[in-house]
Amino acid sequence: MKLAAPIVAGALIGFATAAGTARAETKLTDFNGSWQGGGNDRNTPFESLQRTRCNATITADLHRMGTAIVCNGVAGLTKVIQLNIALDAGDTFTGDLSQKATWRGNAPSETVLKGSVAGQKTDKTANFRVSFPGLTPSVDVTLVLNSPGSFSMRATTIGGELMDVTFNNVSKP
């Protein structure tokens, strides 16, 4: 059974702040642009964590967000994620995610996952679950807004940490 570690956080941080702070409401469109991040990652909870560098491109309007994320780990893991989400009524959101994970090296291997996303946001956090069909376990993701130009994302499954990455905004459109 293959387990996955989607990096859906880069796109969904907009939900973590859509309710805004005490001073002003943050809109999904505030996350348009390019983001870079670094931290730790692995594809399954049975693998060793590795340092990773990630790039995300986010395109959003007031109700929908699309994100393309690429992460490259120092031990050879590359993840390519496509995420599309939409705000539902109130503080909830839904969407879909596809992820391709590839290991570089002598015997490259590849896994492709497609799943659904559902969650809820608060002032500075978003908690959501990515559900996959079949025997692949769900992944729980927590996003925390650190500042207007930075957010952290932590993904877990079966009680084990899969990813812990901090992203910083590098350009607005």
Ordered by start, the domain boundaries in the chain are: 9-171
Threshold 0.85, pTM exceeds: no
CATH architecture of the domain covering 9-171: Beta Barrel (2.40)
Amino acid (1-letter code) at residue 30: D
Distance in angstroms (rounded) separating the CA atoms of residues 72 and 41 = 9
Distance in angstroms (rounded) separating the CA atoms of residues 112 and 7 = 14
Query: Can you read off the two tokens belonging to residue 118?
Result: 């559902």
pLDDT along the chain (173 residues), means of 10: 40 38 55 90 89 92 88 94 86 91 79 92 82 90 83 86 92 77
Q: Which residue has the tokens 């309007």?
A: 61
The three-state (H, E, C) secondary structure of 8-22, written as one string: CHHHHHHHHHCCCCC
